[in-house]
Amino acid sequence: MSEVIERREELLEKIVDVFLANGIAGLSLRPLADSVGSSARLLIYHFGSKEELIAVALDRVRSRITAAVGEVVERGNPASLEDFLRMFWRWAIQETNQRYFRLLFEIDGLAMHEGNVVPEKDRVAGVNRWVQIFKGKVERFSDTTEGQLGASTIILAAITGLLHDYFATGDLKRTTAGLNFFIATLSNQATSTARKRNKKGV
C-alpha cells in the first residue's frame, strides 16, 4: 500500500471517529482538518470535496456496522430472520453502537432538507446495501422477486423507524414491543406463505 493510500485510510478512520463523536451539522473542512491533524487542502486532495468526503465516511460507517454485526451473528448463529432481527436490535441499542445510527439518521435528515449533503448515487447505494442484507432472507415471505424486494424494504423501514423512535424518545419498552409485534407479523406471513405453497404442491 502506497504512503498516499495509507495516509488517506488513516485520515478516513480519524474523520469517521470525529463524525461519530460530533455529527456533521455545520461541518467545515478547516476545523475538521485541525481535528485529524491535517489541512483543508489535503482533505480536498484525498477526498475531492466535502460531499464526497462525507459519502466515503458514511460508507465506512456502514462497513463498520456490517463487520460488527457479522461478528455478533457468528457468535450467536441465529436460526431465522426473526432471531437475527432480535439479535440486531439488542446490538444496535447498546450505547456504544447507537452513535452509528444517530450519524446515519442525521445525514439522512440533512440530505432531505439540503439535498447535496451526500451525492444522490451514494445515498441510493447506501439504502440498497441495507436492503441486500435482508433480501437473501425473505424467500419465506413471498414467491415473487417483487414481493421479496418489498419484504426487504419493509423490514428495513421497520427496523430503522423503531431505532429512530427509540433514540428520539428513549422509550425502550414501547419500541421493543413494536419490534416483537413486527416479528410476530413476519412469522404469521411466513406461515401463510408456506400453507399456500403446500396447497400448490410446491
Residue-range domain boundaries for the chain: 3-200
Residue 1 pLDDT more than 60? no
How far apart are alpha carbons 91 and 181 in whole angstroms?
A: 19
**Is 36 within 8 Å of 22 (Cβ atoms)?**
no
Looking up cell 465516511 gives 57
What b/e string do you get for 80-93 counting C-beta neighbours within 10 Å, with b at 16 or more? ebbebbbbbbebbb
pLDDT at 32: 95
Q: Which grid coordinates are listed for 101?
A: 445510527
Mean predicted confidence (pLDDT) in 4-8? 89
Residue 176 pLDDT more than 70? yes
User: What pTM, to 2 d.p., does this model score?
Assistant: 0.82
Burial (0-12, 13-18, 19+ Cβ within 10 Å), 139: middle
How far apart are alpha carbons 56 and 89 in whole angstroms?
A: 25
End-to-end CA distance of the chain: 52
Residue 198 pLDDT more than 90? no
Mean predicted confidence (pLDDT) in 73-80? 88
Q: In this structure, what DSSP letter does residue 142 have?
A: -
Strands, E, within 41-177: which ranges? none
Residue 136 pLDDT more than 70? no
Give me the chain's average pLDDT, please. Answer: 86
Query: Helix or strand or coil: residue 202?
Result: coil
As its CATH architecture, domain 3-200 has Orthogonal Bundle (1.10)
